[in-house]
Amino acid sequence: MLIAGNWKMNLNSSDLFEFQKLIVNEKIEKKVEIAIFPQFPQLQLAKQILSKYNVKIGAQSCSSQLSGAFTGDVSADAISDIGCDYCIVGHSERREFHNETNEFVKNSASLLLSQNITPIICVGESLNIKLQNRTQKFIHNQIKECIPDIVSSSLIIAYEPLWAIGTGRIPKNEEIMSVHNVIFNELSHVKNLKIIYGGSVNLSNCSNVLKLKNVHGALIGGSSLKFKDFLAIYKTAVKQVI
């Protein structure tokens, strides 16, 4: 199980120290990982002050190119240099505002795997696609086009329906389970596969989501910025697993 906090373009170094103050008193279980994804400039400090408490650190995006003249982009190599465990790729906000395509996602994920960083590949349908009952086909296609040809180590897929991100709306349990099943079936060849859910996960709905059979954790935006809530969600996950 993984409880991951995507801080997006929020918080700064002083917040990392606030988070550290709270995490010092937490018992981080082996069976449930906790990870945070701050902005790039805070990754080094996050690694420095939090990894001793078993908090995993991840980046929010990664270039699809190895290196070169790509001003403003960050390479898998640089992310590995910091010692990141994870990197989110293909988040819907990257797809929307930075035109990241399935091909881009596949290339970034391959580069991350080559650096032994676990990619968290985001997939999810828009409201339009959902209303047209095309969700399963759409996800099937995203998975087919985004997954690297060779997955030598572990891989995480985050199912994040676009209409659930930051809206307070969340799919029905059956909807989450059926999409996670589509992903499982498509990726049955991947040995260390986790599928996590993201989109309006909060303290009140987390136990309902995390109890689902094929849900291996959550990718949390808004509620990860409220550290007490985030840690309470972590504790809920621990209760379900242990």
Q: Which residues are catalytic?
A: 91, 160
Least Å distance, CB 120 to ligand 13P, is 9
Write out the residues near ligand 13P by the rule CB under 6 A: 6, 91, 160, 165-166, 198-201, 219-223
Cβ distance to ligand 13P smaller for residue 66 or 156: 156
Minimal distance in Å, beta carbon 4 to ligand 13P?
8
The CB-of-153 to ligand 13P minimum distance in angstroms stands at 22
Q: Is 236 helix (H, G, I), strand (E, B) or coil?
A: helix
Residue 12 Cβ, how far from ligand 13P at the closest point, in Å? 19
Any residues with CB less than 8 A from the CB of 50 and at least 6 apart, and which? 16, 19, 20, 23, 36, 57
Amino acid at the residue 192: N
Q: Which residue is nearest to ligand 13P (CB)?
A: 221
Separate counts of helices (H) and strands (E) for the chain: 10, 8
> Closer CB to ligand 13P, residue 83 or residue 222?
222
Report the alpha-carbon distance of residue 165 to residue 178 in Å, rounded: 19
Residue 7 neighbours by CB distance under 10 Å: 21
What is the C-alpha separation between 19 and 206, in angstroms, rounded? 20
The two beta strands, 118-123 and 86-89, are parallel
Q: How far apart are CA 224 and CA 202, in angstroms?
A: 9
